[in-house]
Chains A and B, each alone.
Chain A
């Protein structure tokens, strides 16, 4: 690397210590703190303080009066006790787990298979497929939700039209006016498809990048030993890419746990009580219910945060360890 610099005309000795008072050393010691101060301030106001506030609100009776300035009253873990014994919360919780797990499992399997496929294809085909995947990946979340809502539209949706034109013995009848978005049994699968459609490309392209880093000799050795494709995946690919798979898995779980927009658009708002997942449930309690119950919403938000942090503990530990060895 060549970097040309103009040499200063005056010799070194003529530069006096610019500022008197603090020594250069002391000044240098404060420099990093000045540098992180602006970022730290914003983070403290927007993220750290609200985290504290969330804990505080979750432990107090907090509604509209409190928002307007009335003193909030300590309620002795009342929200947590209520939530943890509330059947509704557990049904939302169960749905969240089921939906999230389906998304994660499908995304990981499909993404991995497509990654392997891309690795096997000749370059032109792999690049073309990669561009196609990018279209799905880059689509804004809200647009993705909207187009799936359109594809499954009750009256004019493509899916209902196709199902309607297929023979009755194969798919049954009554697709003409079939509404997918009203009940959890049909809405959640569409939500899963919408999310998987957008997230498998990232897994595929990450797996492809991982596969490229595995030396080919390992596969040749496996082939000579007569290993099938299945065996060579489990005995070569998987162990080599284990850290990558672990990371992708955790990222997917965290992301899918946070699904809000897609559900909001597909369900056409959050008025339907049966279709909540944790994030929409928090929103419902905090903003859409009358009167808003900020305390209860925050208690669930705390539970959600703890869950996300527990799930990401492995990732965080790996990241922090990597920091320490830097």
Chain B
């Protein structure tokens, strides 16, 4: 009896390991395949007998991506610069605006407080995919009215990324501000510290990690964004961001799989790094309070 139990347990554990291995391969293999393709010589990519591991490792595709011209007048570096400007810029703005709003919501009782929060929760649900037409039309009109070019360059994309990041960023940072004990601030106030001193010396050091997490969160979203950039930048190749530049490796006749995989790797690496930092917070941020019910 005891032996049967032990055998069953051992078999069960073996099955668990086997299942884990299968899931692991399912999850990791496509990522591996990107890298393996990016590192193979072209001749090895376009073959009917692909091997699991590259027989020969080459960086030619990376070199081609980094030095090549995909569309006249552009380069990988111009796409990267555009992506960085629009992503870092919008995240910085969003973080600043969100911090101010989060302090208002976490530290003050005011009449429109719950209305504001409810608006954030609802607005967060409205899909950009549905809004894309009216966003385009609005920015077109707004640009005409203000004599600014908002469609066809990065400005419109920039502003949209700020707005899209705001609701979740405000709500996340609000939690961090609330977590700072009020007594600390009161004690400082009694000691005669001014509002600014309290803000910089007490609130900021404690809220900074939350601010960073929320910003990385917003960074990943903006860095990967496709639809808005694609809609607004279609006719201005000089303003392309990295994600929308990738589709231009799909030529009319053939697809440069080596280059596209190398470019894809370059796009993915920063996200992977940032992801390591916020992974846990992403789960708790997205499932806020759900476990407690």
Least CB separation from A241: chain B residue: B291
Cβ of B4 within 8 Å of any chain A Cβ, yes or no, is no
- CB contacts under 8 Å to B, within A238-287, are 241-244, 246-248, 251, 254, 257-258, 260-261, 264-265, 268, 278-279, 282-283, 286-287
Tell me if A236 is interfacial: C-beta within 8 Å of chain B. Answer: no
Main secondary structure on A side of the interface with B? helix
Given contacts A135-B27, A150-B33, A201-B27, contact A316 B122 (CB under 8 A): yes
CB distance from A114 to the nearest CB of B (A): 5
B160 and A46 contacting across the interface, CB-CB below 8 Å: yes
Q: Is B227 a contact partner of A261 (Cβ separation < 8 A)?
A: yes
Contacts of B5 in A (CB 8 A): none
Residues of A within 8 A of B133 (CB): 54, 57, 282, 286-287, 294, 297-298, 301
- Tell which of B55-63, B74-82, B106-114, B207-215 binds the partner: B106-114
B37 adjacent to chain A (CB < 8 Å): yes
CB of A224 closer than 8 Å to a CB of B: no
- B86 at interface, CB cutoff 8 A: no
Q: Is B247 an interface residue (CB 8 A)?
A: yes
A7 interfacial by beta-carbon distance below 8 Å: yes
**Cβ proximity bits B102-121 to A, threshold 8 Å, 1 near / 0 not:** 01110010101110111111
Contact A67 B137 (CB under 8 A): yes
Complex interface residues of chain A between 1 and 41 (CB less than 8 A to chain B): 1, 3, 5, 7-8, 10, 12, 15, 28-29, 31-33, 35-36, 38-40
A12-B184 in contact (CB<8A): no
For the complex, give the distance between the alpha carbons of A205 and B278 in Å: 13
**Is the CB–CB distance between A282 and B132 below 8 Å?**
yes
Residues of A contacting B114 in the complex (Cβ-Cβ under 8 angstroms): 323-324
CB distance from B142 to the nearest CB of A (A): 8
CB nearest neighbor in A for B48: A161
Interface string of A137-152 (1 = CB under 8 A from B): 1111111101110110
User: Least Cβ distance of A221 to chain B in Å?
Assistant: 19
Residues of A within 8 A of B264 (CB): 140, 142-143, 146-147
Query: Does chain A have a CB within 8 A of B20?
Result: yes
Of A82-90, A101-109, A302-310, the one contacting chain B is A302-310
Q: Tell which of B122, B123, B191, B282 touches A5, judged by Cβ atoms closer than 8 Å.
A: B191
Q: Is B202 an interface residue (CB 8 A)?
A: yes
* A231 in contact (CB, < 8 A): no
Q: Return chain A residues, CB-CB under 8 Å to B135.
A: 46, 50
Contact B267 A142 (CB under 8 A): yes
Q: For residue B137, give the distance in angstroms from its CB to the closest CB of chain A.
A: 6
Give the docked Cα–Cα distance between A36 and B171 (Å). Answer: 13
Size of interface on A: residues with Cβ below 8 Å to B: 113
A218 within 8 A of B: no
Number of A-B contacts (CB under 8 A): 312
Please encode chain B, from 277 to 293, with 1 for each CB lying within 8 Å of some chain A CB and 0 for all others: 00100111011111111
Q: Knowing A39-B101, A42-B159, say if A29 contacts B110 (CB, 8 Å).
A: yes
B67 contacts partner chain A, Cβ-Cβ < 8 Å: no
B287 touches A147 (CB 8 A): no
Contacts of A15 in B (CB 8 A): 192
Tell me if B23 and A117 are in contact (CB < 8 A).
Answer: yes
Which residues of chain B are near A163, meaning CB under 8 Å?
A: none
Q: How far is it, in angstroms, between the C-alpha of A140 and the C-alpha of B17 when the chains are bound?
A: 29
Binary per-residue interface labels of chain B (138-182) against chain A in the complex, 1 for a CB within 8 Å, 0 otherwise: 101010000000000000000110111011001000000000010
Query: How many Å lie between the Cα of A161 and that of B49 in the bound state?
Result: 7
Stretch at the interface among A73-81, A126-134, A166-174, A182-190: A126-134
* Minimum distance in angstroms from B280 CB to a CB of chain A: 9
CB distance A320 to B118 under 8 Å? yes
Contact across chains for A46 and B162 when beta carbons are under 8 A apart? yes
Check A8–B193 contact: CB distance below 8 A.
yes
Report whether B268 and A140 are in contact in the complex, using a CB–CB cutoff of 8 Å. Answer: yes
Does A227 touch B at the CB level, under 8 Å? no
Q: Is the CB of A244 within 8 A of B192?
A: no
Kindly identify which residue among B105, B121, B247, B283 contacts A209, using a CB–CB cutoff of 8 Å.
B283
Q: Which residues of A are at the interface with B, using a C-beta cutoff of 8 A?
A: 1, 3, 5, 7-8, 10, 12, 15, 28-29, 31-33, 35-36, 38-40, 42-43, 45-51, 53-54, 57, 62, 67, 114, 117-118, 120-121, 125, 128-129, 132-144, 146-148, 150-151, 153, 155-156, 158, 161, 164, 176, 197, 201-202, 205-206, 209-210, 213, 241-244, 246-248, 251, 254, 257-258, 260-261, 264-265, 268, 278-279, 282-283, 286-287, 294, 297-298, 301-302, 304-305, 308-309, 312, 315-316, 318-320, 322-324
24 A–B contacts from the bound complex (CB under 8 Å): A5-B202, A35-B108, A39-B170, A43-B167, A46-B135, A50-B138, A118-B20, A135-B28, A137-B275, A146-B246, A147-B30, A147-B33, A147-B264, A150-B261, A151-B30, A210-B291, A257-B127, A282-B129, A282-B133, A294-B133, A302-B130, A308-B125, A309-B126, A324-B114
